[in-house]
Chain A
Amino acid sequence: MAFIELEGVEKTFTVRRKRGRFTRTKDEVRAVEGLTFGVERGEMVGYIGPNGAGKSTTVKMLTGILTPSAGRLRVAGVDPQKERVRLAQRIGVVFGQRTTLWWDLPLRDSFTLVRRIYRIPQDRFEENLGRCVDQLELGPLLDTPVRQLSLGQRMRGDITAALLHDPEVLYLDEPTIGLDILSKATVRRFLAEVNARGTTVLLTTHDLQDIEQLCRRVMVIDHGRVVYDGGLEGLQGSDGAERTLVVDLAGPSPAIDVDGARVVRREGDGERQWLAFPAGRSAAPLVAAVAERYPLVDLSVREPDIEDVIARLYRGVPAQAT
């Protein structure tokens, strides 16, 4: 039996809409329908999809916050909705947009509260806190009030708070949203390490690089259904997702003709051009080839993001950054 198991899970919300001054209509909205998948212990799975696809609803059902309308759901063999309090002892949750830290108190105090609430033995608490503080570089911040922390520092604090009780599974909702590149790298390195220690991780994100660097398995959900489940390479197809090189030239120019890339868009009579090339390849030789033959003024490289990848799932064409 899989560690996390969903079988035909459905969640319907009743939405009341105002019609006239006094009349209201009830509409049934299906947040998820017929959701079936399993996650093995120790896996790290990227759970992605457009806004409103049902990602948060799924996580809320897995944590026991919401009760499914139909279907069967088990986490560690337990029905989350019936045993929410007991299961909470074994899971960790990070809501990216919602901190659980105490605004006016030193960061350390929030962790102490976690220790009391989760009844973590002192020695294990100190060991876990020490490891998180060390790897997430929180040492100098422990005595700083949370309100003075940056977004990235707060996120690292939240991740620490979710891991102090040694959860068997960690749910992360947009853990890198709004972070700078350095913070993102620190968080990703740490999450990989957490997973390597055996913690099952379900990661919701809009950042394709989170998935690329962390998850061997990706589930794409849309309109409440799993539309893709497999490796990232399968999602990107044999020709892969494409990155885009945007070049500014010194003057009007015909479409750039170089090997390994094709022009997908031109502006200002060719003064700015968009070149698509496979995501797995380095941009350096391409830049060199362009610079050699065209009057290159400026350039930038754009990564395909999750929305593009998902859109491509439907269109059956390579994802492009725009």
Chain B
Amino acid sequence: MADIRAVRPLNPVSAYLAVAGMWARSALVYRLNFVLVVVVGLLVNGVEFIGIVFMFMNVPALGGYSLPEVALLYGASGTALGLCDLLFGSIEKIGSRIRDGSLDTFLVRPVRLYPQAAADQFALRRLNRLIQAGGVLVYGLVAADVHWTWGRALMIPVMLICGTAIFEGVFTLGAAFQFWAQDAAEVQNAFTYGGNYLTQYPPTVFAKEMVRGAVFVIPLAFVDWWPALYVLGKPDPLGLPAWTHFLSPVVAGAFCGIAALAWRAAVRGYRSTGS
């Protein structure tokens, strides 16, 4: 055929940044509203950790973890979810896009669907969770009685990146599920925000079955529990071999791979069944 154009499609990262930038600027049109939402969010999230501090006024330790150690878990889990929510959290809005048919306008653009859906309704106000959790994490890192080595220091960024990736996997699986059940955003929230709630406390306070589920089913344990076992030198509640504490990158990679397959299957299904 004549006139086939050699224009390569825009790469997904640039596409994501272009769309997210538009949403960020849209939000800044309403400046006062934006500031209020961020401030209120910081307060609400702040109160949550203060609740944990109050708990420690009555007990010296929680499941064998001191306050700074719990702060480290809380901060790591919250930072990972906060990063994921900021960067990819919008993917959970896909259900409403399918319902009202506006997904079609994404599908006629020369860009893959995922970066567009991830950037859809990008909201800078989600920074508030990240700021609050990051602050708690810093407190935990400074105050916890950690015997710092290079390996343990390196584990902190690895833990945050893998945690973000695992939460992204959960978000993506949930979004894929919404192609079939279009109002299933709440089910997804049970695993994302619920997962965050779970992993901000020490694994030792939960029943073994719960912890097993977080290790072997939905790998939330690898967000922060297992890497933190290594950093803090804590005993493994399931008695698994020590090398499992370093498995987060492998688990995160595999889990995201599964999520990506589910996403592709869902999009393909949409395109053959229609809205």
Are A and B a genuine interacting pair, yes or no?
yes
Q: Which residues of A contact B (CB under 8 A)?
A: 11, 13-14, 31, 57, 60, 63-67, 69, 76-78, 81, 84-86, 88-91, 93, 95, 98, 100, 102-105, 109, 113, 116-119, 145, 168
- Interface contact A119-B101, CB-CB below 8 Å: no
In the bound assembly, the distance between CA atoms of A88 and B108 in angstroms comes to 6
- Interface contact B105-A85, CB-CB below 8 Å: no
Q: Which residues of B contact A (CB under 8 A)?
A: 1, 3-5, 7-10, 14-15, 18-19, 22, 25-26, 29-30, 101-102, 104-105, 107-112, 268, 271-274
- Interface contact A89-B105, CB-CB below 8 Å: no
Q: Chain A: which residue is nearest B271 at the CB level?
A: A67
Known contacts A13-B274, A66-B274; A116/B108 CB under 8 A: no
Known contacts A66-B274, A77-B1, A89-B5; A60/B104 CB under 8 A: yes
Q: Chain B: which residue is nearest A166 at the CB level?
A: B5
- Interface contact B102-A98, CB-CB below 8 Å: yes
CB-CB < 8 A to A88: which residues of B?
Answer: 108-111
CB distance from B16 to the nearest CB of A (A): 11
Known contacts A60-B274, A168-B3; A105/B29 CB under 8 A: yes
Among B3, B25, B274, point to the contact of A109 (Cβ < 8 A). B25
Q: Chain A: which residue is nearest B19 at the CB level?
A: A113
CB-CB < 8 A to B271: which residues of A?
Answer: 64-67, 81
- Interface contact B273-A13, CB-CB below 8 Å: yes
In the bound assembly, the distance between CA atoms of A287 and B3 in angstroms comes to 54
- Interface contact B1-A105, CB-CB below 8 Å: no
Q: Chain A: which residue is nearest B1 at the CB level?
A: A77
List 11 A–B pairs whose Cβ atoms lie within 8 Å, in order of A's numbering: A11-B274, A14-B273, A60-B104, A65-B108, A77-B1, A84-B107, A86-B110, A116-B14, A118-B7, A118-B109, A145-B29
CB-CB < 8 A to B19: which residues of A?
Answer: 113, 117
Q: Chain B: which residue is nearest A57 at the CB level?
A: B274
CB distance from A292 to the nearest CB of B (A): 55
Query: Knowing that A65-B271, A109-B22 are A-B contacts, what are 14 other residue pairs whose CB atoms are under 8 Å apart, sorted by A's residue number?
Result: A60-B274, A63-B107, A63-B108, A67-B272, A84-B107, A88-B108, A88-B111, A89-B110, A98-B104, A98-B105, A117-B110, A118-B10, A119-B8, A119-B9
In the bound assembly, the distance between CA atoms of A54 and B140 in angstroms comes to 61
In the bound assembly, the distance between CA atoms of A57 and B109 in angstroms comes to 18
- How many contacting A-B pairs (Cβ < 8 A)? 91
CB-CB < 8 A to A168: which residues of B?
Answer: 3
- Interface contact A117-B108, CB-CB below 8 Å: no
In the bound assembly, the distance between CA atoms of A113 and B107 in angstroms comes to 16
CB distance from B263 to the nearest CB of A (A): 15
CB-CB < 8 A to B9: which residues of A?
Answer: 85-86, 89, 119
CB-CB < 8 A to B25: which residues of A?
Answer: 105, 109
Q: Which 10 residue pairs are nearest across A and B when measured between Cβ atoms?
A: A77-B1, A88-B110, A104-B26, A89-B110, A67-B272, A116-B18, A93-B108, A65-B107, A104-B29, A67-B271
CB-CB < 8 A to A65: which residues of B?
Answer: 104, 107-108, 271
CB-CB < 8 A to A95: which residues of B?
Answer: 104-105
- Interface contact A117-B104, CB-CB below 8 Å: no
CB-CB < 8 A to A81: which residues of B?
Answer: 271
CB-CB < 8 A to B10: which residues of A?
Answer: 116-119
In the bound assembly, the distance between CA atoms of A67 and B271 in angstroms comes to 6
Q: Chain B: which residue is nearest A76 at the CB level?
A: B1
CB-CB < 8 A to A63: which residues of B?
Answer: 107-108
- Interface contact A117-B29, CB-CB below 8 Å: no
Q: Chain B: which residue is nearest A63 at the CB level?
A: B108
CB-CB < 8 A to A93: which residues of B?
Answer: 108
CB-CB < 8 A to B14: which residues of A?
Answer: 116
Q: Chain A: which residue is nearest B11 at the CB level?
A: A119
- Interface contact B5-A90, CB-CB below 8 Å: yes
In the bound assembly, the distance between CA atoms of A128 and B59 in angstroms comes to 70
In the bound assembly, the distance between CA atoms of A113 and B109 in angstroms comes to 11
CB-CB < 8 A to A85: which residues of B?
Answer: 9, 110-112
In the bound assembly, the distance between CA atoms of A67 and B18 in angstroms comes to 28
In the bound assembly, the distance between CA atoms of A109 and B272 in angstroms comes to 33
- Interface contact B7-A89, CB-CB below 8 Å: yes
CB-CB < 8 A to A84: which residues of B?
Answer: 107
CB distance from B27 to the nearest CB of A (A): 8
Q: Chain B: which residue is nearest A168 at the CB level?
A: B3
In the bound assembly, the distance between CA atoms of A31 and B273 in angstroms comes to 11
CB distance from B50 to the nearest CB of A (A): 36
Known contacts A89-B7, A105-B25, A109-B22; A100/B110 CB under 8 A: no
In the bound assembly, the distance between CA atoms of A31 and B101 in angstroms comes to 17
- Interface contact B26-A102, CB-CB below 8 Å: yes
Known contacts A116-B10, A119-B10; A64/B107 CB under 8 A: yes
CB-CB < 8 A to A78: which residues of B?
Answer: 1
- Interface contact A118-B1, CB-CB below 8 Å: no
- Interface contact A100-B26, CB-CB below 8 Å: no
CB-CB < 8 A to B101: which residues of A?
Answer: 98
- Interface contact B274-A91, CB-CB below 8 Å: no
CB-CB < 8 A to B105: which residues of A?
Answer: 95, 98, 100
CB distance from A94 to the nearest CB of B (A): 10
- Interface contact B274-A119, CB-CB below 8 Å: no
CB distance from A170 to the nearest CB of B (A): 12
CB-CB < 8 A to B109: which residues of A?
Answer: 88, 117-118
Q: Chain A: which residue is nearest B104 at the CB level?
A: A65
